Amino acid sequence: MARVLITGGAGFIGSHAADALIDSGYDVRLLDALAPQVHGPSRERPRYLHPEAELMVGDVTDALAVERALRGVDLVLHLASSVGVGQSMYDIESYVRTNELGTAVLLQALANRPVKRLVVASSMSIYGEGACRAADGSLVAPDERSIAQLKRGVWELLDASGQALEPVPTPESKQPALSSIYALNKYAQERMCLITGKAYGIPTLALRFFNVFGPRQALSNPYTGVLAIFAARLLNDRPPLVFEDGLQRRDFVHVHDVARACLLALESEHSDDVFNVGSGVSRSILSVANDLARVMGRSQMTPQITAKYRAGDIRHCFADLTKSASLLGFVPRVRFEDGLDELARYLADQIADDQAEKATEELLRRGLVA
């Protein structure tokens, strides 16, 4: 039986990936620091972890902890990461330490103890703005919106003549446009893994996750996925806070599909490549906030549109899954509506410490929201 190490394995995506791997016959070991922002202050084993998953509590930046975790391991799924565009713009040292130094520590250990395959979690954030079509039908990589434009409340992506661009699915071939420290971290993680894997003969793939949602997301972490942040607000009878005009579009993919993508990547014979992992469908943030309020029985909680922007945010991005389907065999199975219903059932008995306003105030204080 092959043994898989999942770094960050006690977290949202890691725990679901562990379930999928154990159900497929793998022996699974988890390395996780049980960060208080995600898991709370107790540092106890999360109750949702599969009973057959071995948990080692340790930090990915700790070389000794990583070396111990790698003993007897055949495959590595590297998910350990500090997550959140907003927080990354002021907690810079911490994000670089966990995301980049942590990856370097892991790769140093793998250089000394190669494994049969490495899969690393990357992010759609590396694309910056997603791909667009101009008025003449040509495909373009839009420029980052200027501060002057955002201060005027002109939210849409524009071409040089001021005409609106049409967002289209973003393929892996789009060049990175790194607009936040977190995006820079994720690009560094995927490139470091691909470079080291190639040099040491470790077949390596990077998965660019889009907006992952589902049960087990950290509801009290104000920098986690937007659906979890909205859920924390609604559980406390407060309206979701929506930046800009709410019409920015994202790709929401269910965590069960993401876990299956991780399994496919670990079992794939393909290597030295990157793949999008999304739903291939775009939805406005405002519509998602309304949909979640409805399934949670809080339709009266109308989303509060702030008409403010955050440094590092992008307007539109959703996945082109052509390459993932043809080379990885990944096709999403969970309908958004079904996933939202499952999330609502999970939330029914959850308690959340809503930190969204506190997080926004911190960004305001630092001039990162205007």
182 is catalytic: yes
Using an 8 Å Cβ cutoff, are 14 and 79 in contact?
A: yes
Residue 356, pLDDT > 70, answer no
Q: According to the model, what pLDDT value does residue 315 have?
A: 95
> Please, which pLDDT band fits residue 361 given cuts at 50, 70 and 90?
confident
- Please pick, among 26, 182, 223, 309, the residue that the annotation labels catalytic: 182
Q: According to the model, what pLDDT value does residue 350 have?
A: 80
What structural domains and CATH numbers belong to the chain? 3-365 (3.40.50.720)
Residue 219, pLDDT > 80, answer no
pLDDT, tens digit (0-9, with 9 covering 90-100), for 222-250: 667 788 888 889 988 999 999 999 999 99
- The residue among 108, 155, 133 whose CA lies nearest residue 314 is 155
> Please, which pLDDT band fits residue 141 given cuts at 50, 70 and 90?
very high
Residue 359, pLDDT > 70, answer no
Q: According to the model, what pLDDT value does residue 352 have?
A: 66
